[in-house]
């Protein structure tokens, strides 16, 4: 029998229905510290996820379901349940009680009049059959089935599978050396790691190292060839005269005229020599430095700039507080303020949210059928803001 998977949602009432869904955000830290066999630690599960279930004890060695039932009955008797005089209440009290497994591998033998449901080993384990549990699993007592006359157990297996190209799962981030090597097919690369690897990677152009006066560049900016020409033709210059065209006095061309290029005449050279050094040299106006001190919750409001581009004045303003309609600064609520739930102008950190779930979790109803909201009476029992843990 194939393993079964279920989605869990936290629904919140809006006073009319439970259509609003709270979707918790997965953070990397929640999946980087799994047990050695990729199972989730039970301490990560909020109380709301366990509902009214109770932990009876731990299994650290091979056990028989009959022995576990005896341990369960002894535990119920010690907390006040009367098996001898109130058999029905006692049977009901057994349901939802589980044993946590804290060992690498434990073999549970199904005792007489017992039955274990475990899909990973073929579905139903009949009496005298065995089931292998791993560290992090739970063996849960479900109920006593009068129809088949046996005690029914269930296995909670919380393994996180590794991610593949076709299946979602847990994936580890590659380190820089693994990114450079480019051989690992099981790890993920962050955008920052990919960018760095791309910027540092340069294909071999097969051009020997050296200094070149003429190079060939491809469409990606890579040098694919280089040379050192010694002639104008080698550089592809077509509008210059070779050295053989000019005498020792440089008289290969006439003096330049307003309409024709040529050599500079002595008269023009005298004119240039007569221009004073630094003529028309522009001096930028002097500027007095301005400063503006900003407090923790302050920012620049406006700047005054003159015709030369200098800032001549500046004003500041206090950053406004954020509201439901305006962006702005928000202060984090304390644990007491988060539990009180009366402030509208403060935010709650992820730690406070988890603490609230742990404190109020047992108060959250859970099931695979949403509460009926069609009558005034039912809407009064499920006011806006009330949570419901929906399993579907």
3-state SS, one letter per residue, for the chain:
CCCCCCCEEEEECCCCCCCEEECCCCCHHHHCCCCCCCECCHHHCCHHHHCCCEEEEEECCCEEHHHHHHHHHHHHHHCCCCCCCCHHHHHHHHCCEEEEECCCEEEEECCCCEEEEEHHHCEEECCCCEEEEECCCEEEEEEEECCCCEEEEEEECCECCECCCCCCCECCECCHHHHHHCCCCCCECCHHHHHHHHHHCCCCCCCCCCCCCEEEECCCCCEEEEECCCCHHHHCCCCCCCHHHCCCCCCCCCECECCECCECCHHHHHHHHCCCCCCCCCCCCCCCCCCCCCCCCEEEEEEEECCCCCEEEEEEEECCECCCCCCCECEECCHHHHHHCCCCCEECCHHHHHHHHHHHHHHCCEECCCCCCCCHHHHHHCCCCCEEEEEC
- In a domain, residue 149? The reply is yes
State the pLDDT at residue 244.
58
Domain carrying residue 84: 35-156
pTM: 0.38
222 falls within a domain: no
pLDDT in tens, 232-248: 777 777 777 666 556 55
In a domain, 186, yes or no: no
| Number of domains observed in the structure of the chain | 1
The per-residue pLDDT for 1 is 44
In a domain, 119, yes or no: yes
Which pLDDT does position 120 carry in this prediction? 65
Any domain includes 267 = no
| pLDDT value, residue 3 | 46
Question: Does residue 112 fall inside a structural domain?
Answer: yes
- Asked, for residue 302, whether it belongs to a domain, the answer is no
105 found inside a domain: yes
Residue ranges for the chain with pLDDT beneath 70 = 1-8, 23-53, 119-122, 158-161, 167-170, 198-203, 241-255, 260-262, 339-341, 354-363, 392
């Amino acid at each position: 029998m194939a393993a079964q998977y279920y989605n869990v949602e936290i629904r919140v009432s809006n006073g009319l229905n439970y259509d609003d869904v709270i979707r918790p955000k997965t953070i990397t830290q929640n999946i980087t510290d799994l047990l050695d066999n990729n199972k989730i630690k039970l301490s990560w599960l909020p109380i709301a996820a366990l509902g009214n279930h109770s932990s009876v004890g731990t299994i650290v060695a091979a056990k028989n379901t009959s022995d576990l039932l005896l341990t369960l009955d002894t535990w119920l008797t010690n907390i006040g349940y009367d098996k001898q005089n109130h058999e029905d209440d006692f049977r009901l009290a057994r349901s939802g009680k589980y044993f946590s497994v804290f060992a690498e591998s434990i073999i549970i033998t199904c005792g007489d009049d017992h039955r274990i449901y475990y899909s990973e080993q073929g579905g139903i384990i009949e009496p005298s059959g065995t089931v292998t549990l791993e560290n992090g699993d739970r063996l849960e007592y479900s109920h006593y089935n009068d129809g088949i006359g046996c005690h029914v157990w269930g296995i909670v297996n919380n393994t996180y599978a590794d991610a593949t190209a076709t299946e979602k799962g847990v994936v580890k981030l590659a380190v820089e050396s693994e990114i450079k090597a480019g051989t690992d097919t099981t790890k993920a690369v962050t955008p920052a790691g990919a960018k760095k690897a791309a910027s540092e990677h340069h294909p071999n152009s097969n051009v020997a190292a050296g200094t070149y006066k003429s190079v060939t560049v491809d469409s990606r900016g890579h040098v694919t060839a280089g040379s050192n020409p010694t002639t104008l033709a080698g550089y592809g210059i077509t509008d210059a005269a070779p050295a053989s065209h000019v005498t020792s006095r440089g008289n290969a061309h006439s003096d330049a005229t307003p309409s024709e290029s040529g050599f500079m005449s002595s008269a023009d050279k005298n004119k240039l020599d007569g221009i004073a050094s630094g003529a028309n040299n522009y001096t930028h106006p002097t500027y007095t430095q301005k400063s503006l001190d900003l407090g923790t919750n302050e920012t620049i409001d406006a700047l005054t700039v003159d015709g030369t581009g200098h800032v001549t004045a500046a004003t500041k303003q206090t950053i406004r507080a954020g509201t439901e309609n305006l962006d702005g600064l928000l202060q984090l609520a304390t644990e007491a303020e988060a539990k009180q739930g009366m402030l509208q102008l403060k935010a709650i950190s992820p730690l406070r949210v988890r603490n609230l779930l742990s404190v109020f979790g047992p108060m959250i109803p859970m099931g695979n059928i949403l509460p009926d909201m069609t009558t005034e009476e039912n809407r009064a029992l499920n006011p806006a803001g009330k949570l419901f843990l929906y399993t579907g």
